[in-house]
Structure 1
């Protein structure tokens, strides 16, 4: 459920951020929440790559690839 909230928050905030070109560096700040951690308080690979996918969505929206 938290990933849906993060995606919705990303969709609303990416419109207010600066426009980018496709090859520009995109910095998307995220925080690690408690539900991102496993039993040993490590962030597992599945959650890490899912957050990277959210960062790619941010890059696509800010560069204009999302509309195409």
Structure 2
């Protein structure tokens, strides 16, 4: 999965969970954690996005 694909899928899932949670942030975050446990594609997307953020953060420090 590319970074763009990961971003697209994670955004789609987040919007779904946000709507289901009645736009409650805490409930949405918990739902996204549960979704990552059950949905390998979403778990991979989150890992890709997280890893890229980490790399970008490291670049700005150097």
TM-score by length of 2: 0.38
TM-score by length of 1: 0.35
Q: Which has the higher contact order (CA 8 A, sep 6+)?
A: 1
